[in-house]
Amino acid sequence: MLDGPFDVQGSELWRRGAVMAQSRGSMLVARMLAPVAGERVLDLCAAPGAKTTHLAALMEDRGEVVAVERHPGRAAALADTCRRMRASSVRVVVADAAALRLEGRFDRVLLDPPCSGLGTLQSRPDRRWRASPEGIGELAVLQARLLEVAAAHTRPGGVLVYSVCTISRREGERLIDRFLAARSDWHAEDLGALHPQWGSGSNLQLLPDRDGTDGFFIARLRRGG
């Protein structure tokens, strides 16, 4: 616990790669994927890299994390973050995740796609003026496409975690329900089995006023073997 304000990014701990600033909701995403050492993991839409390096840490930096980012500048910053955090198991790939075709499949896949960000209004209040029903609809189409790509890269028996930092059901619960209704080879897993403190259920919607963190939606899916 800190006694007062702390400049994380200006600290020596930051420069040494000893700390990474994350909200409780963001940290929970990687822990819901729960990768283990030696696995092959895919992180789609990976920049800026907090979740990517968290995955590598959970894997004790053993195995492979393929981090995909389509914007070259953001991908370069992601690679810098991985070097600072000494996450040598991470390989950054500059590519459009919506049209991704990688060789082989992955034990675990994390998809944290672009979203309306309506769960982060306490730190980004301007987003309330930029969101619209039409914009959310367009994002939901993109998110569904990215979810299909993530599913295609998950091995039989593998795990896929979908997360968005929003409270919009169109980008969360409804999107996952449509995916599962169309895919008999996939099922949702009980998140409470991993983290009982968040209750039981096939997905989790965090709310800032109730949970004291950003408004994240998280679903953990498993592909049939």
Residue 216 Cα to chain centre, angstroms: 10
% of the chain with per-residue pLDDT over 90: 71
Closest CA to 178 of 214, 221, 215, 207: 221
| Active site (annotated) includes residue 115 | no
Q: How confident is the prediction for the chain on average, in pLDDT?
A: 92
Peptide bond before residue 5 is cis, with ω within 30 degrees of 0: no
Q: Per residue of the chain (225 residues), give pLDDT as tens.
A: 667 788 888 888 878 888 888 888 889 999 999 999 999 999 999 999 999 999 999 999 999 999 999 999 999 999 999 999 999 999 999 999 999 999 999 999 999 999 999 988 877 777 777 788 899 999 999 999 999 999 999 999 999 999 999 999 999 999 999 999 999 999 999 988 888 887 778 899 999 888 888 999 999 999 997
Q: Go through the domains of the chain in sequence order and give each one's CATH number.
A: 24-223 (3.40.50.150)
Closest CA to 220 of 178, 158, 167, 166: 158
Which pLDDT score is estimated for 185? 95
Token pair recorded at residue 15 = 């420069």
Please tell me what DSSP assigns to residue 56.
Answer: H
Which pLDDT score is estimated for 16? 83
Q: Write out pLDDT tens, residues 148-175.
A: 999 999 999 999 999 999 999 999 999 9
| Look-up of token digits 């209704």 | 181
Which pLDDT score is estimated for 1? 60
Exposed (0-12), middle (13-18) or buried (19+): which is 74, by Cβ within 10 Å?
middle
Q: Which of 45, 82, 115, 165 is catalytic?
A: 165
Q: From CA 192, how far away is CA 202, in angstroms rounded? A: 8
